[in-house]
Structure 1
Amino acid sequence: MKKSLIALAVLGASGFAMAQSSVTLYGVADAGIGKIEAGAPAGNDASDKTEFISGSLMNNGNSRIGVRGVEDLGGGLKAGFNFESGLDLDNGNNLGSGGGFWGRAANLWLGGNWGTFKMGRTLNTSFYGIVTWELTGAANYSVVGNTYNYAGGGPRSNSQFSYKTPNMGGFSAELGYILKPDNGDRAKWDVNAIYANGPIGVGLSANKVKSGKTNYALGGKYNFGNFALAGSYTTAHNAANAKRRGFSLGGTATFGAASLTLDLTRDTKNEWTGKKYTNGLVEAKYALSKRTFVYGAFLRLDDTNNYGIGVRHNF
């Protein structure tokens, strides 16, 4: 009887603790078949041959496994973390996405009614501004992301401190900062301003590394129901401060479980390659369930032709 009472007390205490915090395991499995020309900024699977693809330019996304948690500290204050690791379904190797084992995410945060303060490796502030209006949900084959490298800053940053405001009727803003010793002796700031409410999504992204030039992207999307239209204008610089500038225009049509996207970019200036390009993406998706879909995509990127057909499952 005594042991039973102790066990009940332990279970009761445990249940209280679990009610105050939670840890979630999640992930993505994405693989298919495709061809990626070696001249594209393709990373994995760039061989000019039709082959199995995973974690490549022509996958919808990288396979990954992650863990995130949140604890209610009381008084409206919460603490949380996110660790996420990439996975190559070719052979089971780790894909660091530019970082180490937890290269997709390794951060912690504090949040409340006043907003959220985050520290660590994370998707950067400019990326979130672009995702507000980008038509593919920032797929690996995003023509805007690949043409202008997410406003010249890439999708992720190490050692970033950031503050995000609470959502105020659809408006929010976020400021990220990386200290000088953490970024090759050059401090970096990164900011976005977003309006996302109902059918409208507008995002402004800007970032700058000390002694570099300011990158920015401004885009918007309007969802008419079964059709969404998006457009943007971007000025981006590479590490040598060479400029690439241009605009995008595209749309997505939805037919029940199926969707078709056409997205185009056009350079108005391109010092990265010395030649102005018109790049384009055609993407088709069909949802098999809320968590699983099949897709096919063709990407014309700076004189390279790339395609992929695959399956993505979210868990």
Structure 2
Amino acid sequence: MKKSLIALAVLGASGVAMAQSSVTLYGVADAGVGKVKYGAPAGNDANGKNQFIANSTMNNGNSRVGVRGVEDLGGGLKAGFNFETGLDLDNGNADAVFWQRNANMWLGGNWGTVKLGRTLNPTFYGIAAWELTGTANYSVVANTYSFAGAGPRNNSQLSYKTPDMGGFSAEVGYILKSDNADRAKWDLNLIYANGPIGVGLSANKTKGINTNYSLGAKYSFSNFALAASYTNANNAANLRRRGFGIGGSATFGAFALTVDLTRDTKNEWTGKKYTNGVVEGKYALSKRTFVYGAFLRLDGTNNYGIGVRHNF
């Protein structure tokens, strides 16, 4: 259960103002067993063998703990922060760089939100608007095209996000060249999420590398959802990988089944076109805990895992 605390209220000296400030502790615990051939974790985990899995390609998500806070400044203006670090349930270690998942602060109001620091980038949120597994570690779209070539996070990002306008929103982020190996970068999304429809356009460009983009849409009806996408991604060597994705999911009470596929139309990353796919099954034990099993066929490798995830 999320634990909301009245931040520093015991100080008393600024009682009225501090009563409008809060800090929340949250996190995820995710562990299981499986075979990870693609992107196997380092350390004492053996590549491609049955093993305990934590923070691997075949976990639903990475274990983490974070703290976020918000202060109501009045007049519709708020300020906040988010710090988050990963935890390895295999050995209890935290990330080598503490708070490397999130380390940012923001200022927001009716006009939108400005955020500064390390954070999930606009490209990630644009893809999350339609991706069927909830951007799980074994997402076939994310693993095939690396979130449109940008990965999920940016360092030193300065960003602005619009308020929601009838389901429409946009976010643009910028990294100064002095903060990115002398190569400035921009990153943006355009999202429409209203009722059964979710559409997201993501685009990003680093100086000297061609523009990356991804366009996808999801339509939900009754207990089912269908999604389709097209992605063009370039790596640091300016090699291109592009292709389309198509998939569907169905929910039957507490059980959900998802099948998602990608097909390369061009692949200079490996020199060979692949059809990749993921099959995922999840069973909700409560609103915060579920068990899952997944099989991921990725660039000629077979990966699978079963596990349990708890959100708090």
Residue correspondence of structure 1 range 187-202 to structure 2 within 5 A: 187-202=184-199
Distance 1:137 1:261, change over 3 A: same
Equivalent-residue separation in structure 2 for 1:11 and 1:151 (angstroms): 47
Equivalent-residue separation in structure 2 for 1:247 and 1:183 (angstroms): 30
The question of whether the paired residues in 2 share the 8 Å contact of 1:35 and 1:46 is answered with: no
Name which of 113, 116, 131 aligns with 1:116.
113
Distance 1:46 1:264, change over 3 A: farther
The question of whether the paired residues in 2 share the 8 Å contact of 1:55 and 1:95 is answered with: no
Q: Which segments of structure 1 move beyond 2 Å, counting only runs of 4 or more? A: 10-19, 41-46
Task: Report the residue type matching 1:30 in the other structure.
Answer: D
What's the secondary structure of 1:16's corresponding residue?
Answer: helix
Name which of 245, 249, 254 aligns with 2:246.
249
**1:109-159 superposed Cα distances (whole Å, 9 cap, x missing partner):** 000000000000000110000000000110000000000000000000100
Please state if 1:137 is matched with 2:134.
yes
Task: Report the residue type matching 2:39 in the other structure.
Answer: P
Task: Report the residue type matching 2:58 in the other structure.
Answer: M
Please state if 1:179 is matched with 2:184.
no
Please state if 1:77 is matched with 2:110.
no
The question of whether the paired residues in 2 share the 8 Å contact of 1:29 and 1:314 is answered with: yes
TM-superposed deviation, 1:211 = 1.1
Equivalent-residue separation in structure 1 for 2:255 and 2:293 (angstroms): 12
The aligned residue for residue 156 of structure 1 is: 153
**1:24-53 superposed Cα distances (whole Å, 9 cap, x missing partner):** 00000000001111xx23444461110110
The question of whether the paired residues in 1 share the 8 Å contact of 2:41 and 2:47 is answered with: no
What's the secondary structure of 2:19's corresponding residue?
Answer: helix
TM-superposed deviation, 1:19 = 3.1
**1:145-185 superposed Cα distances (whole Å, 9 cap, x missing partner):** 00000000000010000000000000000000000010011
The question of whether the paired residues in 2 share the 8 Å contact of 1:172 and 1:195 is answered with: yes
Task: Report the residue type matching 2:197 in the other structure.
Answer: I
TM-superposed deviation, 1:11 = 9.1
Name which of 289, 292, 306 aligns with 2:289.
292
Task: Report the residue type matching 2:245 in the other structure.
Answer: S
Task: Report the residue type matching 2:109 in the other structure.
Answer: G
Equivalent-residue separation in structure 2 for 1:165 and 1:172 (angstroms): 6
Name which of 256, 270, 274 aligns with 1:273.
270
TM-superposed deviation, 1:18 = 4.4
The aligned residue for residue 216 of structure 1 is: 213
The question of whether the paired residues in 2 share the 8 Å contact of 1:159 and 1:182 is answered with: yes
The aligned residue for residue 309 of structure 2 is: 312
Equivalent-residue separation in structure 1 for 2:149 and 2:33 (angstroms): 29
TM-superposed deviation, 1:94 = 1.5
The aligned residue for residue 4 of structure 2 is: none
What's the secondary structure of 1:166's corresponding residue?
Answer: coil
Name which of 138, 144, 147 aligns with 1:147.
144
Q: TM-score, normalised by structure 2?
A: 0.94
TM-superposed deviation, 1:14 = 6.7
What's the secondary structure of 1:24's corresponding residue?
Answer: strand
The aligned residue for residue 3 of structure 1 is: none
The aligned residue for residue 263 of structure 1 is: 260
**Equivalent residues, number:** 301
> What is the root-mean-square deviation in Å for CA atoms of aligned residues?
1.4
The aligned residue for residue 7 of structure 1 is: none
Deviates more, 1:207-216 or 1:87-96: 87-96
Which segments of 5 or more consecutive residues in structure 2 lack a partner in the other structure? 1-9
**1:60-83 superposed Cα distances (whole Å, 9 cap, x missing partner):** 000000000000001110000000
